[in-house]
Amino acid sequence: MGQRTIIPFGPQHPVLPEPIHIDLVVEDEKVIEAVPSIGFIHRGLERLVEKKDFVEFVYVAERICGICSFIHGQTYCQGIEEIMKLEIPSRAKYLRTIWGELSRIHSHLLWLGLMADAFGFESLFMHSWRVREQVLDLIEATTGGRVIFGSCKVGGARRDITPEQMTWLLKQLEVVEKEMHLIVDVFMNDSSVKHRLCGVGVISKADAISLGAVGPTLRASGVADDMRLLKYAAFGELDFEPISRTEGDSYGRCAVRCAELFQSVDLIRQAAAKIPAGEIAVKVTGTPSGEFFSRVEQPRGEVVYYIKGNGTKNLTRFRARTPTFANVPPLVKMLGGCELADVPVLVLTIDPCISCTER
Amino acid sequence: MAFFQMKKMILAWTFRKPVTTSYPFEPRKICPGSRGRLDVKISECIFCTICDKRCPTQALDVDKVNKKWRIDRLRCISCGYCVEVCPKKCLLLTGDHGIPTVTKEMETF
Amino acid sequence: MIDEQTIIDVMPETLVAETRKLCEQGYRLVQICATRLGEELQMDYSFDLNRKFVNFRFLLPKLGGRVPSITGVFFCAFTYENEISDLFGVQVEGNALDFKGNFYTTAMKHPFIQDAVPASVPAPAKPGVQ
Ligand code: SF4
Ligand code: SF4
């Protein structure tokens, strides 16, 4: 038996510019135990609802996270609409679906890039981000923002996609899809990538459920659970089947995200074909009174908002449980027993977004 | 299983122009509809202060009495809420994203 | 309604037993949260099985509330339990991975049960006025 050493990982670490700190107890090259600590940048956004009125708070909700910003805004709006019993126009629902899926593509490409960076494949990283840049251009042209979309509001959407833009968007998506095939091919088939990912950090199906994993981390372990099956926005009218894998290792999680890229492209195509004409927003009158747990699937997994209003223009409670928060316990489990050199890869496979975890 | 799956892509990109531009010498191509700097047509403004009251970041300060419209550019998040609520439609988000600044100043119109 | 949500009232004493029942049926823990309602705290424990949402709820006094830990059933509850003990000052008994108030770094203790922003934190002034 070797000597036990404690190695601190983060909050500043070259592989992940986000403030998570993990104490790794290592014996020789094996990690025996990992103790996470977060909380370096707790912003207390949840209490800001007492200052901002419920319509303005969309802007704060969007800024909880810089990557899934649109879906945060959407989750919040859906929660409020559910409490106020607002029926938003069908076109707005489709618009939200399209933007939500665009943001999933851009988030997964970002993750693929970071992942390539974590196992030291710099050129793959650059190419993933080059393709992501094209997706960001699509987002900017349709919503006006590159990462903070700002196009969702309580009662519908703030912008419309014109038919010409839609045609252009679909044409560009074809280009992006072709490029994505090239990149995904490397991730799925390259021997050096497989060597780093296969069999690393295996989480069994039972563990994934009992540890509360969400999103691709859960689906890679054989549980086909996706909040989009709740049929929020326009998902009820689209053909959709969650993607799951049975490996449960890092390669499985990577494969789930790769497959979701093309699934999102497909969903956007379906939505573009079915989108009805009409209004994009309804007028909001009154104030929310009631409570709702709003659940939406983000690129990283399920996000839960608890919204409670008391009939005034400020909410009583707003609580956000972001997917990374739920994925910390599975991460701790993965780290126990892994090689020290695999730690960066494992930390990245849950797609950590610490800043949104701490709100 | 393939060894160095990326060789084709890397070879192809060896002979292409880089996708990055040499900013700031070559300014970024701005796509239409981008939300950038807030612009005001001050001659049409009636100083109703609606934009001031609605701005979520309190970036605007409209003085009814002295007919002054001021904006803190560093606070503005380019959300466009003021553009929506302005009764005279004299506010506009331009595609231009402005230049870097080193001081915190209010811009007065 | 996009999502059927069942809210069940439980007692803090029976919480662990009820949770174990759900765990055996294959539910997963979605979240734990506390909400301040005047002088009381409302505790919510949410679970999910194939998108069926079940929520346990009970009330605690604002100060000095104690709850048993459910980390024995769902280990992943430790993050949520540390969170409520840091932000709301609820005492969680038997947490398997207790950070003892160091999970979040906050400027003041238990910020979410304080009444208003203390005077030492100036309210954001109107631009130009300061
Ligand atoms: S809302 Fe329009 S008209 Fe009124 S003060 Fe602002 S810019 Fe002027
Ligand atoms: S764009 Fe938004 S942040 Fe900027 S001045 Fe207008 S309302 Fe305020």
Q: In this structure, what CATH number is given to the domain that contains residue C43? A: 3.30.460.80
> Contacts of residue B33 in chain A, CB cutoff 8 Å?
140-142, 144
Place of tokens 């997917």: A323
Higher pLDDT, B45 or C125: B45
Q: What is the pLDDT of residues B25-55, one digit of tens each?
A: 887 777 777 888 888 888 888 888 888 888 8
Classify domain B34-95 by CATH number. Answer: 3.30.70.20
Structural domain of residue C40, as residue ranges? Answer: 4-108
For residue A243, the model assigns a pLDDT of 84
**Other Cβ atoms closer than 10 A to A259:** 18
Higher pLDDT, C107 or A121: A121
Residues 44-63 of A with CB under 8 A from B: 52, 56, 59-60
For residue C28, the model assigns a pLDDT of 83
Best B61, B103, B108 residue to mutate vs chain C (most C CBs within 10 Å): B61
pLDDT band at C123 (very low <50, low <70, confident <90, very high): low
Which pair of tokens denotes residue B7? 């060789």
Give yes or no for residue B81 CB within 6 A of ligand 2. yes
* pLDDT of C3 above 70: no
Average pLDDT over residues C100-121: 69
The two counts, helices (H) then strands (E), for chain A are: 12, 8
Residue C19 belongs to some domain of the structure: yes
Give yes or no for residue B50 CB within 6 A of ligand 2. no
% of chain C beyond a pLDDT of 90:
0
**pTM summary value:** 0.85
Residue C123 belongs to some domain of the structure: no
Which pair of tokens denotes residue A278? 């009409």
Residue C120 belongs to some domain of the structure: no
Using CA coordinates, name the residue in chain C closest to B61: C127
Query: With DSSP H G I counted as helix, E B as strand and the rest as coil, what are the percentages for chain C, rounded to 5?
Result: 20, 30, 50
Which pair of tokens denotes residue C130? 């300061």
> Contacts of residue C75 in chain A, CB cutoff 8 Å?
210-211, 329
Show the domains of chain A with their CATH numbers: 40-323 (1.10.645.10)
Q: How far is CA A87 from CA A83, A154, A281, in A?
A: 11, 11, 10
For residue C130, the model assigns a pLDDT of 36
- Provide block-wise average pLDDT over 10 residues at a time, chain B (109 residues): 73 82 80 80 82 83 81 83 83 78 77
Considering only CA atoms, which of C37, C92, A175, A315 is closest in space to residue A305? A315
Residues 8-67 of C with CB under 8 A from A: 23, 26, 28-31, 33, 35-37, 44, 46, 50-51, 53, 55
Query: With DSSP H G I counted as helix, E B as strand and the rest as coil, what are the percentages for chain B, rounded to 5?
Result: 15, 15, 65
Could you say which DSSP state residue A244 is in? Answer: -
Which pair of tokens denotes residue A260? 């979701």
Q: How far is the first Cα of chain C from the last one, in angstroms, to the nearest whole number?
A: 47
Residue C80 belongs to some domain of the structure: yes
Residue C124 belongs to some domain of the structure: no
Give yes or no for residue B42 CB within 6 A of ligand 1. no
A239-243, A283-287, C9-13, C114-118: the lowest-pLDDT one: C114-118
For residue C118, the model assigns a pLDDT of 52
Residue C43 belongs to some domain of the structure: yes
* pLDDT of C128 above 50: no
Is C105 an interface residue toward A (CB < 8 Å)? yes
> Contacts of residue C124 in chain B, CB cutoff 8 Å?
58
| Residue ranges for chain A with pLDDT beneath 70 | 1
Residue C129 belongs to some domain of the structure: no
Using CA coordinates, name the residue in chain B closest to A185: B5
Q: How many domains does chain C have?
A: 1
How many Å is the maximal CA-CA distance in chain B?
Answer: 75
Which pair of tokens denotes residue A86? 């607002």
Which pair of tokens denotes residue A56? 């303005």
